[in-house]
């Protein structure tokens, strides 16, 4: 049976640690407690959606999906907590900058999946992409609920508007892709892989938009949503794929597979496979989405539903995929092998 999914960009443990920080104002700590309570309910939505996906199986590709990009719809919660909120008639030209940004970036994520991987939306069948903005008051998170995206505005001090992070969008929407492909549970190795795949795609999407090579990228997750008070505490990002255990990460992670323990929060157990991906990309060089990214995505597409997938098994699948996809470029398979050996696999 699937474990409850905690697929928010900011892990609960990090929010809890901040909520208990006596250096923060009562107002900020109260906002963090509110976020934790809301997140607990959103997890239930994700759990049910994942179970439904496992029962229903992958959707059949629709002929219409090839006709064009998926519909992108944006709703305004008006700082309330009823989903999806009120539809925004023309988000592309909205005077609401958050709605405008969410429409533009969601459209770009769909374009990324289409142009790089040939994927027709989240479900590969042209699924409409729904997003709700201005969710709650000082809501400090963003999440994929199992059927749509929701974005908080942040409290303005620890976190700013979560729509400001294009890697946040790529990360959360990829939880939807995983829901329709590997259907990974959210515990143990599978949970860590679930989070890692989203970080990998979120980072790739950020690099793709910026036209960056692997050497030019900073490999940070969530750098664009950190507020001034978080930065004053020395936190420049949520996670760093190049250095998962760094002190500048709000949610620092282990780096070796031997450190992954049963029951570990997937936001932390994702550290080793994140480092493996980064190391493989650096070894391969060039653009992350052109080689190593294609290998990781190929496994997502071809392995079939695999709720309890373990990291050693995933590593072997990527090794096999690299040899298959890049049969005439042995350097890619070598890079993948280097990545996994870096973390003890």
Annotated domain spans of the chain: 12-179, 188-342
pLDDT at 63: 45
pLDDT at 259: 98
Fold category of 188-342 in CATH:
Neutral Protease; domain 2 (1.10.390)
Fold category of 12-179 in CATH:
Elastase; domain 1 (3.10.170)
Predicted confidence (pLDDT) per residue in 24-67, tens digit:
999 999 888 888 888 776 655 555 555 555 555 555 555 444 56
Q: Say which of 172, 175, 195, 306 is annotated catalytic.
A: 172
For β-strands 72-76 and 86-87, DSSP reports them as: antiparallel
The arrangement of strands across the sheet holding 142-144 comes to 86-87, 72-76, 129-133, 149-151, 142-144
Q: Which of 242, 235, 180, 240 is nearest to 215 (CA)?
A: 242
Q: What is the CA angle 142-311-322, rounded to 5?
A: 100
φ, ψ of residue 129 to 5 degrees: the values are -105, 115
CA torsion through residues 197, 198, 203, 209, sign: positive
Under 8 Å CB-to-CB from 170, ≥6 apart: which residues? 109, 112, 198, 201, 202, 203, 204, 205, 206
Measured distance CA(146)–CA(256) in Å, rounded? 30
Predicted confidence (pLDDT) per residue in 197-240, tens digit:
999 999 999 999 999 999 999 999 999 999 999 999 999 999 99
Residue 143 CB neighbour total at 10 angstroms? 27
Q: Enter the tokens of residue 185.
A: 């549970």
Q: Which of 228, 221, 162 is nearest to 28 (CA)?
A: 228
The label of the residue with tokens 């008639």 reads: 89
175 part of the active site: no
Q: Which of 179, 170, 340 is nearest to 255 (CA)?
A: 340
267 part of the active site: yes
Q: What is the CA angle 163-165-169, rounded to 5?
A: 70
Measured distance CA(155)–CA(18) in Å, rounded? 13
pLDDT per residue, tens digit, the chain (345 aa), is 334 444 688 988 889 999 999 999 999 998 888 888 887 766 555 555 555 555 555 555 554 445 689 999 999 999 998 999 999 999 999 999 999 999 999 999 999 999 999 999 999 999 999 999 999 999 999 999 989 999 999 999 999 999 999 999 999 999 999 999 999 999 999 999 999 999 999 999 999 999 999 999 999 999 999 999 999 999 999 999 999 999 999 999 999 999 999 999 999 999 999 999 999 999 999 999 999 999 999 999 999 999 999 999 999 999 999 999 999 999 999 999 999 999 999
Measured distance CA(12)–CA(277) in Å, rounded? 24
pLDDT at 1: 35
Phi/psi-derived region of residue 57, left when phi > 0, alpha when psi is between -120 and 50, beta in every other case: left
The label of the residue with tokens 């970036």 reads: 105
Q: Say which of 8, 175, 267, 306 is annotated catalytic.
A: 267
């Amino acid at each position: 049976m699937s474990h409850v999914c905690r697929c928010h960009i900011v892990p609960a443990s990090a929010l809890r640690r901040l909520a208990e920080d006596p250096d923060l104002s009562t107002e900020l700590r109260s906002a963090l407690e509110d976020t934790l309570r809301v997140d607990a309910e959103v997890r239930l939505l994700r759990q049910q959606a994942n179970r439904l996906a496992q029962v229903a199986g992958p959707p059949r590709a629709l002929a219409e999906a090839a006709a064009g990009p998926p519909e992108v719809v944006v709703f305004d919660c008006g700082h309330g907590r009823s989903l999806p909120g009120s539809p925004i008639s023309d988000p592309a030209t909205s005077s609401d900058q958050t709605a405008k940004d969410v429409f533009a970036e969601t459209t770009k994520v769909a374009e990324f999946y289409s142009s790089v991987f040939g994927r027709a939306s989240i479900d590969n069948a042209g699924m409409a992409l729904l997003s709700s903005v201005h969710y709650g008051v000082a809501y400090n998170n963003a999440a994929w609920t199992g059927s749509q995206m929701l974005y908080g505005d942040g409290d303005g001090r620890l976190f700013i508007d979560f729509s400001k992070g294009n890697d946040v969008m790529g990360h959360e929407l990829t939880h939807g892709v995983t829901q329709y492909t590997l259907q990974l549970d959210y515990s143990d190795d599978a949970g860590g892989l679930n989070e890692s795949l989203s970080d990998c795609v979120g980072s790739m999407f950020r690099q793709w938009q910026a036209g960056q090579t692997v050497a030019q990228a900073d490999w940070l997750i969530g750098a664009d949503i950190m507020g001034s008070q978080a930065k004053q505490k020395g936190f420049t990002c949520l996670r760093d794929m190049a250095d998962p255990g760094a002190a500048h990460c709000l949610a620092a992670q282990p780096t070796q597979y031997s450190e992954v323990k049963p029951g570990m929060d997937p936001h932390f157990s994702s550290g080793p496979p994140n480092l493996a991906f980064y190391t493989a990309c650096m070894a391969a060089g060039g653009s992350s989405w052109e080689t190593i990214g294609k290998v990781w995505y190929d496994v997502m597409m071809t392995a079939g539903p695999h709720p309890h997938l373990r990291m050693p098994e995933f590593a072997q699948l990527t090794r096999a995929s690299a040899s298959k996809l890049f049969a005439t470029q042995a350097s890619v398979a070598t890079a993948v092998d280097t990545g996994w050996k870096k973390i003890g696999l």
